[in-house]
Amino acid sequence: MRLPVPEEMLPADRLGRVHFVGIGGAGLSAIARIMLARGVPVSGSDGTDSPTLEALRALGARVHLGHDAVHVHDVDTLVVSTAVHEDNPEYLEAVRQGLRVLPRSAALASVMAGRRVIAVAGTHGKTTTTSLLTVALQAAGADPAYAIGGDLAATGVNAADGSGDLFVAEADESDGAFLHYAPYAAIVTNIEADHLDQWGTPEAYAAAFDEFADTLDPDGFLVCVADDPGAAALAERHRAAGRRVVTVSGQDAAALDGVTLWSPGEHYRADALAALAAGVELGYRAEDLVRGLTSYTGTKRRMERKGEAAGVRVYDSYAHHPTEIAGDLQAARAVAGEGRVLVAFQPHLVSRTRIFGAAMGAALGAADEVVVLDVYLAREEADPAVTGASVAAGVPLPPERVAYAPDLESAAAELVSRARPGDLVLTLGAGTVTQVGPRVLELLDG
């Protein structure tokens, strides 16, 4: 469900009691965590229990399993994600009562109010770059608030309310949310067509980033990764318009000479350089920022090591776009060394798979063995013509090295049947495929 952003963006302390529908999601849980830290009364609901919900309960949130109209009887503001459907009973009850109903973007803007916001945008690499900038600033002596689309491995949380004036935020373009933040500064990692269910055409998608850059504070700055043609063109246009623009390149080996990052790969180096450039532009010393970059231990679901069993290493990553798949397989190949790379991929969204399915299959060809699950539907309805089988059919490997295993259990079993000591198993996708890695480890241990 996509809701309009209200004309008046109220700060969090004026929202009263706030109820989050889908509070366990990465976006809403981050906002809820910050509101709780500021003393805002928070409640929420979600379909299944999780460590995220347990953590929010421990912080004082009233969290329900399942959705029911009674959950909003004493609520002032309702916050919903795009994954919530219009027939959700809590949403319907909020409308009946005439409550304030906000999309995620407006709720995030409410906690950013009064802070100097550095927004990290781009088709790929947002979570990693936001995380890197956060830890770099912390190492340099800042205490920024932050909201990230994944949990920092070092802290186990995706958000915190820092004591300083900075707020580092992952700025999501999927539903146009990033157009409503008016940040002081921004990083744009890349611009490659995605979320065309929202934007319609690649041209409209790219134009949204121009609109985003236009919302920056005139005294602020824009950091772009010049390796990407879309981001490089954005930098040129806004530099010509008089904005302060800094460009970085992951191909610049000298920029982080002698620095060991948590993961190999040119795109990870570019993310780190973008974070470094933003920190320097904010006035912090490069050597202090680099100390933070080298201490970074990753973000959950971004090339996250899950464990090892029977000589097989298992990693998990959120990649769901062809470019992200290619980048993570490049990194996995470097980590695997002499071992083979086995990948289980779960396509995410029918609309994305319809448009990019062939490219997903082609990118998966960089692995040695491939298992493809069925499409994770999220907020969309199934389409019999768009399945994981079509992605599997497009993998340019011999048929015996590719399997279509539609559900989690069969995918885990398929991986175990193919794995041998020294191999690296990588699970990829933005959905439930993250559960496959632990199951593989269980089966290998058994």
What is the per-residue pLDDT across 322-379, written as a single tens digit (0 to 9) for each?
988 998 899 899 899 999 999 999 999 899 899 889 999 999 999 999 999 999 987 7
Query: Which residues make Cβ contacts (< 8 Å) with residue 324, sequence separation at least 6?
Result: 124, 318
Q: Residue 160 has what pLDDT?
A: 96
Give pTM, 2 decimals: 0.80
Nearest CA among 275, 428, 264 for reference residue 346: 428
The overall average pLDDT reported for the chain is: 93
Lowest mean pLDDT among 39-48, 249-258, 400-409: 249-258
| Whether the Cβ atoms of residue 107 and residue 3 lie closer than 8 Å to each other | no
Which of 92-106, 129-143, 299-313 is least confident? 299-313
- Among 398, 323, 390, residue whose Cα is nearest residue 354: 390
Residues 400, 408: Cα–Cα separation, whole Å: 20
**SS3 call for 237:** helix
- Tell me, what's the pLDDT at 443? 96
Rg of the chain over CA atoms, in angstroms? Answer: 21
Task: Evaluate whether 43 touches 20 at the Cβ level (below 8 Å).
Answer: yes
Cα(266)–Cα(146) distance, rounded to whole angstroms?
25
**pLDDT higher than 90, residue 276:** yes
Which domains are assigned to the chain? Answer: 12-103 (3.40.50.720), 114-295 (3.40.1190.10), 304-445 (3.90.190.20)
**Tokens describing residue 395:** 């993998």
Q: Per-residue DSSP letters for 336-358? A: HTTS-EEEEE--B-HHHHHHHHH
Q: What is the DSSP letter of 178?
A: G
pLDDT of residue 215 exceeding 80, the answer is: yes
Q: What's the per-residue H, E or C state across 82-102?
A: CCCCCCCHHHHHHHHHCCEEE
DSSP symbols for 285-308: -HHHHHHHHHH---BTTBSEEEEE
pLDDT digits (tens, 9 = 90+) for 87-126: 999 999 999 999 999 999 999 999 999 999 999 999 888 9
Q: What is the model's pLDDT at position 217?
A: 97
Residue with tokens 């906690």: 111
How far are the Cα atoms of 28, 110, 153 from residue 34, in angstroms, in the given order? 10, 10, 18
The mean per-residue pLDDT over the stretch 285-296 comes to 95
Residue 155 main-chain phi, psi, to 5 deg: -110, -20
Q: How many CB atoms sit inside 10 A of residue 179's CB? A: 17
Give the number of other CB atoms < 10 A from CB of residue 283: 8
Q: Tally Cβ neighbours within 10 Å of residue 48.
A: 8
Residue found under tokens 């948590």: 262
